[in-house]
Structures are given as structure tokens and as C-alpha cells.
Amino acid sequence: MDTFNIESRQSIYFEIRYVIAVEWLSDTLKRLDFQRALADKQLDFPQTGGGAKDFTLVRKEPSALQVKIASLGPRVSSISVSSERPAHTLELFSKEAEAVCEAYRQAVIKGQCQLLQCGARIRHLYSCREHAFKYLWEDRLCQDPQDFRYLGGRPVLGGGLRLFMPPVKLPAQTKEKEVWGPQEDEEPVQIEVKIESFLQEAKKMFVETLFAWPKPRLLSEDEMFDAEFRLKTTEDYATGQVCDFILKSKTER
């Protein structure tokens, strides 16, 4: 097995989140309307809960799924759909997330709406031949393990990297468009990446990739929520550029 085994990738978390310029009033009738709209799309959530400003629905089978709606302020609310330790593929999760968002619009918005921002988060685990942080520290960062003596000689259980990239325009990857020249429908995107040893299992590398699109846009009554595109864009970056960054060892410099 390679020191960092890219073929061992395991998806452990998917999430899509939208912030919308619409009020969420957590009354009984509104919650029932939302649940009926979900049922019409073959989505059943046995567990529900919430307070005056939020509402959460949870399903454990056939694949874990959680939906949370929260009031963030006057005429601003958020809806997030997540899956921890998913049994479904990202494609199936994306389709269910889009169905959840459409049920939310049907029950709550009833027409066009303004999306203030949206974000997608994906977490992966990878296997390493040895301690994952040892690989990061010595092979990837070319650092001397003896440097930890300055911390008092204590053993190091793990560690990692956290990278922030400000909003810049990235090409859309699933739309047909011209190759040359500026592309007006590109969106600025902020990226955060965490790469660290998994404390529960030292030979596992934990990688989290978060994309955030901060530019507001109007979603017409006929437009679908674009969870599949957002999640695929995040996944492509996580399994492409992020893995390329991790694999660039000292022997390549």
C-alpha cells in the first residue's frame, strides 16, 4: 500500500446548505405542510424536533439523512441537508437534497426567492501505511520530527493543516460553455480545506472540503435548487486538487 492510499477513499459526511431571504415561522401548520411536501416526494422522517426558531427532521434508514431549518433573523432563514456515514452515493444524496429543498420551497416560499449564499461540505477518510500525521509532517512538509522537543518532549497524537482561500471565480464544471474568454456566469467561491490525522484511528487521514458561494442570486419559480452541481463541484475539487496537494511529497521537489 502507498504511504497515502488515494484509492482507499471513504465518504463519511455530505452537506448542502442554503441561506434564503424568507421568514421561517415554526408553527405546527407550517411544519405539517413541509412534512406533507416531503412525503409527496417519497421522503419520510420518523424523528422530528425543534423550537421556536428551528425545525429538525432525522432519518436513519436506508441512509442517514438530517434536515434542519433555522430562522437567522428577520426574513432570513437557512435550510441544510446532511448525511453522516452515508450509505448512499453522493449522486443519490444530491437528488434527495434537491427534493428536500423543493419541498421546502413548495411549503414555505411558494414562488421565486433570493438565495443569499450557499455552501457544500464533504468529508473523506483515507488510509495511510503509517501514522497519518507522520506522513504530513515528514513527507509532505519535510519537517524534522525532533522539532517537537520544543513542545516539552510530549508525544504528539496527531495534527494537520487548515487552509483558507478567499472568494475567486472558478469555472463551472458541469455546464457547456465557451473555452476562451471571460465567462460571465462564473461565481466567486470561498474554499476551506482541513487535512489532519484522524484521532480515532491514527493511520487514517481526515480531509474536509468546504465550498461557500457568497454571491446572492435570484431563483425563479421554475428554477430547481442546484444541490447536485454544488456538491459535485466540491467533490471534484476534494478528490482532485486537494489529493494532488497531499500527494506532493519531498521527492517531487
Stretch 192-196: mean pLDDT: 97
Q: Grid coordinates representing 237? A: 475539487
The residue behind cell 495534527 is 159
Per-residue pLDDT tens over the stretch 64-74: 999 999 999 88
Window from 61-65, 174-178, 204-208 with minimum mean pLDDT = 174-178
Rounded Cα–Cα distance for residues 105 and 29 (Å): 15
Q: What residues does 80 pair with on adjacent strands?
A: 17, 68
pLDDT digits (tens, 9 = 90+) for 70-99: 999 888 999 999 999 999 999 999 999 999
Nearest to 238 by CA among 1, 34, 44, 13: 13
Stronger pLDDT, 241 or 221, i.e. the higher one:
241
At 176, the pLDDT band (50, 70, 90 cuts) reads: very low
C-beta of residue 122 within 8 angstroms of C-beta of residue 238: yes
State pTM to two decimals.
0.88
Give me the torsion for CA of 67, 70, 72, 77, rounded to 10°.
70
Rounded to 10°, the helix 227-237/90-104 angle is: 150
The pLDDT value recorded for residue 236 is 96
Element of type H or E holding 38: helix 28-40
Half-sphere exposure of residue 208, counting CA atoms within 13 Å on the CB side? 17
The whole-angstrom separation of Cα 45 and Cα 96 is 12
As for how many domains the chain has, the answer is: 1
- Check residue 73 and give left, alpha or beta (phi > 0: left; psi -120 to 50: alpha): left
> Which region holds residue 98: left if phi is over 0, alpha if psi is between -120 and 50, else beta?
alpha
Q: Is a pLDDT exceeding 90 seen at residue 186?
A: no
Helix (H) or strand (E) holding 160: strand 160-170
Of residues 239 and 108, more confidently modeled? 239
Please report where in the chains the cell 522537543 appears, as a residue: 149
Q: Where does the pLDDT of residue 29 fall: very low under 50, low under 70, confident under 90, or very high at 90 and above? A: confident
- Beta strand ranges found along 51-159 (DSSP E): 54-59, 65-73, 76-84, 113-128
Phi, psi of 80 (to 5 degrees): -125, 145
Query: Structural domain of residue 173, as residue ranges?
Result: 4-252
CA atoms within 13 A on the CB side of 159: 10
Q: Which amino acid is at 135?
A: Y
Handedness of CA 183, 189, 195, 200 (dihedral sign): negative
Q: Which amino acid is at 25?
A: L
Residues 166-175 pLDDT 10s: 987 655 554 4
